[in-house]
Structures are given as structure tokens and as C-alpha cells.
Amino acid sequence: MKLKNLKLEINQHVAVITFNRPDQLNALNLETLAELKQLLEKIEKDAVLRCIVLTGAGKAFVAGADIKAMSEMNPKQAKAFAETGQALFSYMEQMPQPIIACINGFALGGGCELACACDLRTASTKIKIGEPEVNLGIVPGFAGSVRLPRLIGLSQAKKMILTGEPLSALEAEEIGLIHWIYKPEELLPNTLKIAERLAAKSLTALATIKHQLRKSLELEFTEAEKFEAETFSKCFTTPDQKEGMNAFLEKRKPKFEGLD
């Protein structure tokens, strides 16, 4: 697949996707969203790839949706643009592979919303992460108003979205928006180590956990419990459950399906 706005590197079982429009701070336009969707669909079907890392070239992770492109949109086009990003980010949440946002710089607006749709977030000490849409006279459109309150609570989400003021890495870590912080030069190597640790786990279990957690937010408590018991019992039909438990009892490392 020929890539224009993205770069793909494969590191054993880990796919590293880099947003690669550094001159525009990797701002998201329709073309980039379409390219990412196509690439993720290919990765989803690739049995070798068990974890995905998203990062950005240059000084930004993603500085938001493309303001130049948005400035020319009418309401109908704006709605379609928002829906395209929303569908892509929901697709990411429903993919079996865990996705790590490796936030190397500015993660603003659509870039923050993209990071929120990833399963885990690492960041360099130098980042700024925020929802500055209000400063452009608009509101979040790639599900920032939906995911942020679920991730960090309504109170912190209101602060970020109403003020539009970005957070430092430390501030974002304090409220649980970022999971790990590293020095800039140590960010990617350490993120890859986390990705490799995830890639060595049971992909069936990881995919089920992603599904369980997303569902748990949609369902009422007792329904969510029922769903959990069902997904738990389904694990007992899988080779990975047998292998994981046998490996523990035999005091060896498990070798889950699909690993060489």
C-alpha cells in the first residue's frame, strides 16, 4: 500500500504508524483519515501484528484537524468530516490489537481526541495536550466531548474543553490522561518496550478486554456483569486459556497463539 501522509514501520509484532505531515504539524485532513483507515484495516487482518503504536513526525503528535480544510467547509461538510473521524476512532477501539498513542509533541483538538481513542498513552516531557476548539469558535467534533469525560471525569473534561488551555505532560499524567512520561529521546524506545510486552500476551484476551471495557461503559451495572461472565466463560473455549494456565502450572512462560 502506497502511503502519502503516514509512514509504517514493522518491528517484529508491532506496527508503528507515524503521522508524516510535519510542515502542517500532522494536522488531520480527510485524506489522512482515509489513509489511516485503510492501513488499520490491513493491520487488523495481519496475524503477525499484535500491537500498534501511533506517533508523529517532527514537533507534533497531531496538532488537530486541518484548520485550513475546515475553514472552507459548510455545515453539511463539517458534519460529514466529524462523522468520518468519529467512525475511524470507534473502529480503532473495536480493533483486536491494543493501540498506544506515543505522544511526541502537540496533541491538540483532533490530535487529543485521537489519543483518547487509543488504549494507552505515553508522552514525552515536552508535550502539550488540549482541546483548543473553543478558541476557533467551534467545539470538539471527533468525540472529544464523549471520550474525555469518560476517561478523566466530567470536571476535568469541562476544564480542558471550556478553557481550551493545553496541559503539560505532568498535568495530564496527574489526571490520568497520560499513562507514562519519558524524556523525548527515550519516548519511542520505551513505548516500543511496552508494545512488545503487550504483543507477547494472548491477543484473544487483549481483544476481549478491549471489548469488555467498552461495553461496560454502555451497559447498566448488572447487564455489564452478565456480559463479563459471558466473555470470561468464552475464554475457556480458547487454546490461549489452556496454554496460559498450563504454563503457570508448569512454571514456564506461556506461548500464546500466533507467536513464534
Question: Active-site residue numbers?
Answer: 113, 133
What is the pattern of x (binds ligand HXC, CB under 6 A) and - over residues 75-114? ------xx--x--------------------x-xxx----
Report the nearest approach of ligand HXC to the CB of residue 88 (Å).
Answer: 11
Helix-strand-coil split of the chain, %, nearest 5: 55, 15, 30
| Under 8 Å between Cβ of 55 and 182 | no
| Nearer residue to ligand HXC within complex by CB, 89 or 256 | 89
Which H or E run contains 114? helix 110-117
Instruction: Assess 63 for contact with ligand HXC (CB under 6 A).
Output: yes
Q: Which of 19, 50, 57, 66 binds ligand HXC (CB under 6 A)?
A: 66
**Segment contacting ligand HXC by CB under 6 A, of 11-19, 20-28, 201-209, 212-220:** 20-28
For residue 164, is it left (φ>0), alpha (ψ between -120 and 50) or beta?
left
Which residue of the chain is nearest ligand HXC when measured via CB? 109
Q: How far apart are CA 235 and CA 252, in angstroms?
A: 20
What is the pattern of x (binds ligand HXC, CB under 6 A) and - over residues 114-133? ------------------xx
**Segment contacting ligand HXC by CB under 6 A, of 48-56, 65-73, 178-186, 224-232:** 65-73
| 248 to 144, 196, 203: CA distances (angstroms) | 41, 20, 18
Of residues 195-234, those binding ligand HXC (CB under 6 A)? none
| Under 8 Å between Cβ of 256 and 96 | no
Which H or E run contains 146? helix 144-152
Residues that bind ligand HXC (CB under 6 A): 24-25, 27, 63-68, 81-82, 85, 106, 108-110, 132-133, 136, 140-142
